[in-house]
Structure 1
Amino acid sequence: MIPTSLSGNPRVVPLLHRIHLPRVRRWAGAALGLLLATSAPQAQAARNILFLIADDLGFDSSSLTATPAANVSLPPTPNIDALGASGVTFTHAYARPTCSATRATLLTGRHGFRTGVGVALSGAKPGLRDDEYTLPRAFAANAPDYALASFGKWHLANGANTPLTVGGWPYFAGFNAPGVASYTNWSKITNGVTATSTVYSTTDQVNEAVGFINTQTQQNKPWLAWVAFNAPHSPFHKPPVNLLAGITKYTSLSGTTAHINANQRLYFEAMMVALDTEIGRLLQSVDRSNTDIIFVGDNGTENAVIQPPFKYAAENHAKFTVFEGGVRVPLVITGPDVAYIGKNDSLVSTVDIWATIQELAGIDVDATIPAGVTVDSKSLVPLIKENVIRSGDLFDEQFNQSAAADGQTLRDERYKLIRFDSQVERFYDLQNDPYENTNLLASTLTADAAAHYKSLKRKFQNYLALPNAATTRDPFPFPVNGSNNVTPDSFSLDFSYSQLRTNAIYTLWRTPDLGDPLKWEQVGSLPVSGVASGTLGTVNATLTDPQANGGSYFYQVVPSRW
């Protein structure tokens, strides 16, 4: 509670012991009121759920979401397009910049700074821990009648049996690498057993999924099939001609190494056509009257094949970056639980799919999350039930990739702030500059832009973790309650924090109006002293606003990485 104060005295917003509220409380106020006022969802007939992931498919390269423009080529994907035409297409859907980081959000409903997965798994870059409350574990605990299987790309932990031991999948058939060396000669893992496959990998993934679905249909069991295609991820190649829908532009490709190297975009598109053909075959095995289908890209398009206006000569704005070209992806949900058909402009994330899939299966997510597990996922089911726009901000991140590319980004309905680990900031007006050409911080901000910049900067506290010298991120040493001192012209706050990490600061913010998030102002800052790791007691500190001037304000201590 915020204490009542006499007129003219500063007031203190309680210091944040922990900044991540329970999941349901992270909805906008109106939505929160609705959640608190209604009863638990009623049970429904068990739906089948088909989850499709396309690898390295950004929103610029899918006809579901791309804006047609001169000199931009989009492959025909009628089966994928039909999913969009029969469901909800999210026009502002975001993934992580790389595959492993996105897959961790999908499997856990948690941001990367919680799971430690901040980039594609390789070498010393960590994968998913085996103690995560994953989607299969949620089903095993709360919807045990469902048959579960995962097909295709895993790439979340090393080891042939890690889809089971780390992910919790009772059945897995696919591979455990960033990609295959050859789409027609690759190492296939089936429940921990590895063998060479010469079946075109996209075809093999559909074969496996169709077999699984047919078996469950015969046994009258509900099912969840996670089909993680590696197409159209490199290596670029010419797919089997029978999968190219008779399109001369692609069937006539020579397929030679020299031609591929000179025309990578054409081969990328041919791989998308083959993927669409096989998705069409997969859909023929599905009872569409009782199956909800989700289709998503796992990160932005690779820089080698991304197109203008996301193709930049001087800087990569594609995969492996938190720019729009690296994180914005196509996302469609269709099926019997979809009551609204059309486009939705809400800011949504792959983190949200974890809760969405569970709710589609009839699981009461809020009631079943284990004690001590913090999740960030917000179900998209309300957005497919009616034409509503969800308010709120959108967070994305990358770490353990490179000093220049690592960072966090937060955007609202119009503006986007990027804070790179190198302590470089970028700030964009996406309404007028959707391709991030002009960094607004290079010139004087308008009053509106300045207010949003400060608002986003303060809100970064909700996603705060510190780079570790090893391979993960550590929680910030959040402050504990202290005492305040008030004079006619100043305000100071004494507080303490656990000595944990260096290279961070606390900042003091004030506002005359808690109802307007754009009126907060930063009025003081203090570097945090600490050690490289471990907890060694507490440190006392003081933050001061030297220009309170007898006004009536609310104050808050906000931790910041820099």
Structure 2
Amino acid sequence: MIRPLLCIVLMSALAALTGLLRDASGAGRPNIVVILVDDMGWSDIGCYGSEIPTPNLDALAKNGVRFTQFYNTGRCSPTRAALLTGHYPHQAGMGHLDNVVKPGHPGFQGKIADTSVTMAEVLRDSGYFTAMTGKWHLGQQHGTPPWKRGFDRSLNLQAGGVYFYNQTGSKGGAKLYLNSEERPLNDPQFGEWYGSFLWSQWGLKFVDEAISAKQPFFLYLAHCSPHFPLMAPEEDIARYRGKYLAGWDTLREARHRKQIELGLVDAKWPLTPRAPNSPAWKDVPADEQKRFDHMMAIYAAMIDTMDRSVGTLVDGLRERGQLDDTLILFVSDNGGNAESGPNGRYEGKNPGDAHSNVFLGQNWATLNNTPFRKWKHFVHEGGNSTPLIAHWPSGIDASVRNKLVHQPGHVIDLMPTVVDVAGTKYPAKFQSQAIEPIEGVSLIPSLSGKVLARSQPIFFNHEDNRAVREGKWKLVALAGQRWELYDIEADRTELHNLADEHPDRVKTMAAQYDAWARRTHVVTGNNDAWNSATKQNKGTKGKKK
């Protein structure tokens, strides 16, 4: 009787150990894919109002959910840091781009802070196979490349703006990095590539490795599109030539009407007026209209090819039997980009090819951000509003599919969402280093129609443009300017400043901002990032960075 009893005990112990090992390996957990695009405005894809056909993203939205009030940080590197760490940008050491370093200031390290941990680090320790493709821009030159921040596999650019294997214009001479090894853009193993397709192709290669290893996977696919220099295959650009001669005024109105029909915006929110330095389309000379048409055609082709890349990835996951249990999140790093002013930039023998240099400019960026104010760099709605599409066939309740989530969210919420989905824990320590607490909240309740458990406001600071979002209220200010207050439920296009009517609310929310700015390293003692928050609250202009 002893031996059978011993066998039962041993078998039970073995089963328990096998279960523990399975949990540690991540088996049975959903896959996670985060797709980030670069410099794309809130209205630039079909399911958010655009005239540009994006059938693959539209299909994800139809079978998933769309968020109507989701925010990024208004800029590239800060959003990437916040997304991957769940910390606000200055907390994560990335208060600006990764080439901005202020010695002794923890908010401007030009790299991911040691007191932050990345999604890849958390998920790899939980048994996931972790991979990334595309643009990094998180301090590779300062010691935090993807392969040192949790990614098992990576094919990346140190920064962005690279689209062709033979690019010689802006960003010509850049390098690819395959699993830490530097490779020239024209390395034969990659073929004669265009970036949007390369990132999906290699993303699926890494997925195949994960499947072979019998591990769930986390794929971070960071597109360069549609960031300048605007470049796309000629045949794709040609399909859009002439379609933008209608001009930005007519197209903004069309996008706005579509957004109202889709339920994305309230009909009571009027379109924001053109900026004073932006002309009416009818006043633009005919030869200039052709130039502007070509610029926007290049941009539209970049959105088109990015969408097809998403389709390639989704089809690849479906063919591999992985799609149903994969959470896909699609988001943009900031609003449409007005850099280079109203006229944009249009350089090269054949603008849009690998040897040119094209910037879309402010006139079209206002279309990108329909119906909102401002652009990239700013934290008014045009600068920091992003689409968020969540798709997960086995995880999103059927009752909310093809629905809109109107609750506010922020890229800091993606880390707690991923931790929630993976069934793991956010660490208090990582590799003996204390990690700052997570800032956001899991978005998973919203995928079944429930209310998010947010107890704190959402905060913003970029280049001293700053904001607080709490419930329906948004307190926002331009650098060195007085606070403005908006009721977002009544006025999301931020046209009716209520600061003078609600001085107590302004005072309370400004105090919340001040406390947050000190806590998250936006301002630090005598080594402030910008002006002191107290001076800003009074509307006093100080020195800008």
Aligned residues: 415
Structure 2: how far apart are the matches of 1:240 and 1:357?
38
Shift of 1:153: 0.5
2:98 matches 1:121? yes
* Structure 2 counterpart of 1:135: 119
- Where do residues 113-262 of structure 1 align in structure 2 (5 Å cutoff)? 113-124=90-101, 126-129=109-112, 131=114, 132-141=116-125, 143=126, 145-159=127-141, 162-164=144-146, 166-180=148-162, 184-185=166-167, 186-198=174-186, 199-239=193-233, 241=235, 248-249=239-240
1:265 to 296, 305, 329: 296
Q: How far apart in 2 are the matches of 1:343 and 1:394? A: 21
Change (3 A) 1:396 1:326: farther
SS of 2:310's partner is: helix
Within 5 Å, give how 1:315-334 maps onto structure 2. Answer: 317-334=374-391
Does residue 306 of the first structure (1) align with residue 283 of the second (2)? no
* Matches for 1:378-457 after TM superposition, within 5 Å: 378-388=441-451, 394-399=457-462, 401=463, 406-441=464-499, 444-445=500-501, 449-457=502-510
Does 1:357 find its partner at 2:399? no
Cα 1:266–1:438 change in 2 (3 A) is farther
Shift of 1:46: 1.1
Are 1:337 and 2:395 matched, yes or no?
A: yes
SS of alignment partner, residue 440 of structure 2? coil
Q: Give the whole-Å Cα distance in 2 for the aligned partners of 1:236 and 1:382.
A: 38
1:334 is displaced (CA, Å) by 1.3
Q: Deviations over 1:266-315 (max 9, x none)?
A: 22111101111111111111121221111111111112232349589xx9
Rounded to whole Å, the distance in 2 between the matches of 1:81 and 1:390 is 28
Q: Would the aligned equivalents of 1:349 and 1:394 in 2 still touch at CA under 8 Å?
A: no
User: Displacement, 1:466?
Assistant: 8.7
Residue pair 1:347, 1:394 contacting (<8 A) in 2 also: no
Q: Which residue pairs with 1:295 in the alignment?
A: 330
Q: CA deviation at 1:151?
A: 0.7
Q: What's 1:283 paired with?
A: 314
Between the aligned partners of 2:289 and 2:531, the Cα distance in structure 1 is 51
Q: CA deviation at 1:260?
A: 6.0
Seen in structure 2, the aligned counterparts of structure 1 residues 109 and 259 have a Cα distance that, compared at 3 Å, is: same
1:98-113 equivalent positions in 2, closer than 5 A:
98-113=75-90
Provide, for residues 132-167 of structure 1, a one-character-per-residue CA deviation record: whole Å limited to 9, x for no partner: 3222221233x1x21101110000103297324652
C-alpha distance 346-113 of structure 1, shift in aligned 2 (>3 A): same
Q: Deviations over 1:505-526 (max 9, x none)?
A: 69xxxxxxxxxxxxxxx9xx9x
CA RMSD of aligned residues (A): 3.7
CA distance in 2, matches of 1:277, 1:308: 22
- Of the three residues 29, 46, 62, the one matched with 2:29 is 46
Counterpart contact for 1:202–1:278, Cα < 8 Å: yes
| Aligned partner letter, 1:432 | A
Deviation for aligned residue 1:434 = 2.0
TM-score, length of structure 1 as denominator length: 0.66
Classify 1:63/1:258 alpha carbon distance in 2 versus 1 (closer, same or farther; 3 Å): closer
State the Cα distance separating 1:328 from its structure 2 match.
0.4
Q: 1:391 to 1:218 in 2, by over 3 A?
A: closer
Kept in 1, the 8 Å contact 2:157–2:175? The answer is: yes
Please tell me the residue identity of whatever aligns with 2:135.
K
368 and 333 in structure 1: CA distance in 2 versus 1, 3 angstrom threshold = farther
Secondary structure, aligned partner of 1:75: coil
Q: Residue 318 of structure 1: CA displacement?
A: 0.4
Q: 2: distance between equivalents of 1:301 and 1:311?
A: 10
Contact kept in structure 1, 2:81 and 2:112, CA below 8 Å: no
Of stretches 387-396 and 196-205 in structure 1, the one that deviates more from structure 2 is 387-396
Which whole-Å deviations, capped at 9, do the CAs of 1:68-105 have from their partners, x for residues lacking one? xxxxx531101001111111211100001111000000
Structure 1 Cα separation of the partners of residues 331 and 524 of structure 2: 30
Partner of residue 408, structure 2:
347
* 1:549-560 correspondence runs (5 A): none
Which amino acid counterpart does residue 240 of structure 2 have in structure 1?
K
- Paired amino acid for 2:330: F
Counterpart of 1:263, as a letter, is: H
Structure 1 residue 391 displacement after superposition = 5.4
In the TM superposition, what is the alpha-carbon distance from 1:352 to its structure 2 partner?
A: 0.6
TM norm structure 2 = 0.68
Hey, what's the Cα distance between the residues in 2 that align with 1:306 and 1:166?
36
Instruction: Give the Cα–Cα distance (whole angstroms) in 1 for the partners of residues 136 and 240 of structure 2.
Output: 32
Q: Distance in 2 between matches of 1:362 and 1:250?
A: 48
Please give the alpha-carbon distance, in whole angstroms, between the structure 1 residues aligned to 2:506 and 2:165.
46
Q: Residues 460 and 201 of structure 1: is their aligned pair in 2 closer, same or farther, counting only changes over 3 Å?
A: same
* 1:415/1:452 contact within 8 Å kept: no
Q: How far apart, CA to CA, are the structure 2 residues paired with 1:343 and 1:311?
A: 18
Mapped partners of 1:161, 1:466: distance in 2? 25
CA contact (8 A) 1:260 1:267 kept: no
Shift, 1:360, TM fit: 1.2
What amino acid maps onto 2:329 in structure 1?
A: I
Correspondence list, 1:505-544, <5 A: none
Amino acid at match of 2:316: S
- In terms of fraction of residues, the more strand-rich structure is 1
Task: Check whether the contact 1:96–1:396 (CA below 8 A) recurs between aligned residues.
Answer: no
Alpha-carbon distance change, 397 to 252 in structure 1, aligned in 2, over 3 angstroms:
closer
Q: 2: distance between equivalents of 1:110 and 1:91? A: 22
Specify whether residues 352 and 52 from structure 1 end up closer, same or farther in structure 2 by C-alpha distance, changes over 3 A only.
same
Partner-residue secondary structure (3-state), 1:64: helix
Instruction: Give the Cα separation in 2 of the matches to 1:238 and 1:252.
Output: 16
Q: SS where residue 227 of structure 1 aligns?
A: strand
One-letter code of the match for 2:365?
I
State the identity %. 23
What is the one-letter code of the residue matched to 1:221? Q
Task: Give the structure with the higher percent helix.
Answer: 2
Amino acid at match of 1:230: C
Specify the alignment match of 1:84 in structure 2.
Answer: 61
CA-CA distance at 1:379 after TM superposition: 1.0
Contact 1:383 1:390 (8 Å CA) reproduced: no
The verdict on how the C-alpha distance between 1:193 and 1:81 changes in structure 2, with shifts beyond 3 A counting, is same
Amino acid in structure 2 at the alignment position of 1:375:
I
Distance 1:457 1:182, change over 3 A: same
Shift of 1:373: 2.1
Deviation by residue 1:406-426 (Cα, 9 ceiling, x = unmatched): 232012333211245525322
Contact 2:92 2:113 in 1 (8 A): no
What is the letter of the counterpart of residue 293 of structure 1?
I
- Is 1:463 matched with 2:457? no
2:98 is aligned with what amino acid? L
